[in-house]
Amino acid sequence: MKLESFWTDTTPAFEGRKDALPAKADVVVVGGGFTGLSAARALALRGASVVVVDAGSVAAEASGRNGGHVNNGLAVDYATVAARVGTERAAAWYRAYDNAVDTVERIVRDEAIQCDFRRGGKLKLASKPAHYDALVMGFERLRREADAQVELVAPERIMNEVGCDRFAGGLLFKKSAQMHMGQFGHGLAEAAAKRGAQIYDHTQVQRLQRLNGHAHRVHTERGSIDASQVLLATGATRLGAYSSFSFWRRRIVPIGSFIIVTEPLDANALTSLLPKRRTYTTTDTLHNYFRTTPDNRLVFGGRARFALSSPRSDAKSGHVLREQLVAMFPQLRDVRIDYCWGGIVDMTQDRLPHAGEKDGLFYSMGYSGHGTQMSVHMGECMARVLAGDLGANPWRNNPWPAIPGHFGPPWFLPAVGLYYQVKNKFA
């Protein structure tokens, strides 16, 4: 069992530039994940001089360590969001995710990225009859106000979708997709570089010095660069420039999410389990998410433990996930697990993305485990914002208060984990 991401292990690493940083640029993007790379590509297409700096390898953190889903739909219940912010805003945010999936598909097509992009829909599986009742209650409003294509899967039909008798129905989001994250990340970086963006990996930002307005001097371990504008696309990074990033670290909780990947399975046996080859999530509070791969592996993840990713933590989580996998699909009790890894989810208090400008710095982050498509989309949106189109940001004017008692390291995770374990048992 390799303790590394299947996506990055099966993709050649993108090699950043080895020369010295330029003295100045129109825009410096801090973070070489999907947000940063998408923004860099879009900005370069507009004729801007763009430099991307990343503390590690390009597209190797959250962008390369997720479950491989490209899902539409909000990360939280639509009706709950609508009750808080109103129907108009909630529907607009929901449609932003539809647009985000479209953005990924368009970039894949325009840049001819070979990443097995496929729209197969997402099936939200009700783990208990009460969960299905909740899906039914919100279904008509969701279909009427935000997504006319969403479809209920009744309990008597659910085994046509999943070869497992533990689910009580489901909700199908037909616009959702999936892809190979490593291949997409490599292709997106290549596309950005081809358009003129200069990408420097293993270049940790040490300090951001405001010069005037939006202009900053970006100090890195490889020297400094003056930027007319800076876009922070760092997610829940725990590296470098702590004081410069303190505003965002008080508003994002880094939470571990863990994934295992099986050996290639018999195609017919896998089809009997998941005949539609969709992306899947469960409604448990501590939910699982899974999908297949073109070479007939099963990618199975979840919040196995409330801990951050490390080799030891990943290995422990892998054993938990294997138990959950076998509980769901007993037919797979003897399969080999080839990969296991963890990643950091940049969770916000409202579980919604946040983007805008703070003290002369532009930012987009906080995707809360639902970010593959939105990160790519927001890269393009923020490129337009930097060019002066503030209305291009679908998350503008969404308040983002600090999390009380949170100043960086998530000291409260064990207590949160215990709370959710109890809630998961009884909800």
Q: How do residues 81-122 score in pLDDT, each as one tens digit?
A: 999 999 999 999 999 999 999 999 999 999 999 999 999 999
Sign of the C-alpha dihedral computed for residues 187, 188, 193 and 198 taken in this order: negative
Percent of the chain with pLDDT over 90: 82
Nearest of 137, 127, 154 to residue 78 by alpha carbon? 137
Position 425 in a domain? no
| Domain encompassing residue 170 | 6-417
Q: Are 340 and 324 in contact (CB under 8 A)?
A: no
Residue 237 is predicted with a pLDDT of 65
Q: Which of 106-115, 183-192, 363-372 has the lowest mean pLDDT?
A: 363-372
373 domain residue, yes or no: yes
Are 97 and 373 spatial neighbours (Cβ–Cβ below 8 Å)? Answer: yes
Which of the pair, 361 or 304, is modelled with greater confidence? 361
> Is residue 8 scored above 80 in pLDDT?
yes
Evaluate whether 92 touches 129 at the Cβ level (below 8 Å).
no
326 pLDDT tier (thresholds 50, 70, 90): very high
- Would you place residue 404 in the very low, low, confident or very high pLDDT band (cuts 50, 70, 90)? confident
Q: Examine residue 423 and state whether it is found in any structural domain, yes or no.
A: no
The predicted model gives 310-324 an average pLDDT of 89
Report the Cα–Cα distance between both ends of the chain, in Å, rounded. 34
Is the pLDDT score of 256 beyond 90? no
Q: What is the mean pLDDT of residues 23-39?
A: 98
CATH number at residue 23: 3.50.50.60
Kindly state whether residue 279 falls inside one of the protein's structural domains.
Answer: yes
Report the number of distinct structural domains present in the chain.
1
Q: Is residue 260 part of a domain?
A: yes
Q: Can you read off the two tokens belonging to residue 85?
A: 């912010």
pLDDT at 17 over 80: yes
Residue 422 forms part of a structural domain: no
Provide mean pLDDT across the span 232-245.
70
* pLDDT higher than 70, residue 259: yes
For residues 39 and 44, what is the distance between their CA atoms, to the nearest angstrom?
8
Tell me the per-residue pLDDT of 265-295, one tens digit each, with 9 for 90 and over.
Answer: 999 999 999 999 999 999 997 899 999 999 9
Pick the closest to residue 406 from 322, 352, 349, 364 (CA basis). Answer: 349
| Band of pLDDT at residue 420, cut at 50, 70 and 90 | very low
Cβ contact 69:123 at 8 Å = no
- Summary mean pLDDT of the chain: 92
**Segment 23-49 mean pLDDT:** 98
303 occurs within a structural domain: yes
Q: Indicate if the pLDDT at residue 411 is higher than 80.
A: no
Q: Is residue 49 part of a domain?
A: yes
Q: What is the pLDDT of residue 422?
A: 46
Task: Tell me how far apart the alpha carbons of residues 117 and 70 are, in angstroms, rounded to a whole number.
Answer: 9
| Burial class (CB within 10 angstroms; exposed 0-12, middle 13-18, buried 19+) of 134 | middle
Which ranges of 302-393 would DSSP assign to H, the alpha helix? 311-328, 372-386
Q: In the numeric block, which tokens belong to residue 144?
A: 């009427």
Q: What is the pLDDT of residues 44-84, one digit of tens each?
A: 999 999 999 999 999 999 999 999 999 999 999 999 999 99
